[in-house]
Structure 1
Amino acid sequence: MKLHIKNMVCNRCKMVVKAELEKLGFKPLLVELGEVTLADNISADDKSKISENLIHFGFELLEDKKTQIAEQIKTTIINLVHYTNEQLKINLSAYLSEQLKLEYTNLSSIFSEIENQTIEKYFIAQKIEKAKEMLTYGELTLSEIAYQLNYSSVAHLSAQFKKVTGITPSVYKAASADRRKMLDEI
């Protein structure tokens, strides 16, 4: 049986969800971002117990199909931007369609309805958070960051960065305060 869980955005989230399910006596066969496969079907009471337990950690069981799809889109984008070491030289609509096995027009419509923003805006927000992370670590130049995040130029990255954050990447890097957001807050 598959459970869809909102706000699973990192490997620690997977560890927490797995540990909590095991603590409740369930046997997760596979724990991925946003999704858990259990060995057996569970009752409505069991789902309620799981939901009550996970809510304390900021997770939420998703029952509605559209909400599940929107969460899968977010998880796929987070994986793509934050957890792959490849440059983001892909066609996002084709990539999402391939990964989720649905037409992009349907994905786009559902995402906009549930999240009140476009997939593209969400993707850009994730890329800007990744840029902030890279700037904070200070290991790469702005040119290298722009290249890794598949921006056509440093100017393009800087313009999007300023549009999303209100400041330029250079000002962000110079500021000592960490202005990064948690991935599930974007």
Structure 2
Amino acid sequence: MVCIRCQMVVKHELDKLGLEYTDVKIGEACFIGPVTDDTLKKLDAALRKAGLQLMSNKKSILVEKITNTIIELVHYTEEQIKVNLSNYLSEKLCYDYTYLANLFSEVKGTTIEKFYLKHKIEKVKELIVYDELNLSEIAYKMHYSSVAHLSNQFKKITGLTPSHFKKLKNKRRDTLENV
């Protein structure tokens, strides 16, 4: 579950099945009381129809939590973290960063850092397309040390400069699920 619409789908399916829950966050749902295996199978089938699925493997759940934490940090939070990303993830998820990084790379086939940077650049693309902020303001908002740093990273990941990207008629952006 990587977006607010996904949360809405999950809540809808939980309500349809009559399941009581206390909270549905990006990547997890907290049930009130026990849930039968049959009900979980029905929920999984309904979620699969919507392009989602239940996860029960602890490693998969942890990788999903890493993914959702990064997406939330980049796309849905304005504040800058006070520590580096590795410390932030370790503190938030209560695991050693080396373990998180190895597990993430094993499952996703990319590093946490590359995943994080791709999402930052995707957010930069979004801000460029909206055309409400200039590049200096975008660099500041996305916590880059300078416009040059942002531009270098943007070109390294997209193959284009931010100004060239801005001039494109069909601005190519990826959905969060595909980043």
TM range (shorter): over 0.9
Deviation per CA, 1:2-38: give whole Å up to 9, x if none: xxxxxx1222211111011111111121000000011
Q: For 2:95 and 2:126, how far apart are their aligned partners in 1?
A: 31
CA distance in 2, matches of 1:96, 1:88: 10
TM-score (norm 2): 0.95
Shift of 1:90: 3.8
CA distance in 2 between counterparts of 1:74 and 1:171 reads 29
Select which of 84, 87, 90 maps to 2:80. Answer: 87
Shifted more, 167-176 versus 84-93: the winner is: 84-93
Identity, % of aligned pairs? Answer: 51
Match of 1:101 in 2: 94
Larger relative strand fraction: 1
1:122 Cα deviation after fit: 0.3
Q: Which has the higher contact order (CA 8 A, sep 6+)?
A: 1
- Summarize the alignment of residues 167-186 of structure 1 with structure 2, pairs less than 5 Å apart: 167-186=160-179
Which residue does the alignment assign to 1:39? 32
**Aligned to 1:132, what secondary structure does the other structure show?**
helix
Give the counterpart of 1:155 among 148, 152, 160: 148
Structure-1-length-normalised TM-score:
0.92
* Counterpart contact for 1:22–1:28, Cα < 8 Å: no
| Off by >2 Å, runs of 4+ in structure 1 | 87-90
In structure 2, what is the Cα distance between the partners aligned to 1:184 and 1:149? 20
- 1:88 and 1:149 in contact (8 A); partners too: no
The 1-side partners of 2:83 and 2:146 are apart by 16
Give unmatched runs, 5+ long, in structure 2.
none
Kindly provide the amino acid, as one letter, of the partner of residue 136 in structure 2.
S
Distance in 2 (alpha carbons) for counterparts of 1:173 and 1:9: 26
Aligned to 1:3: none
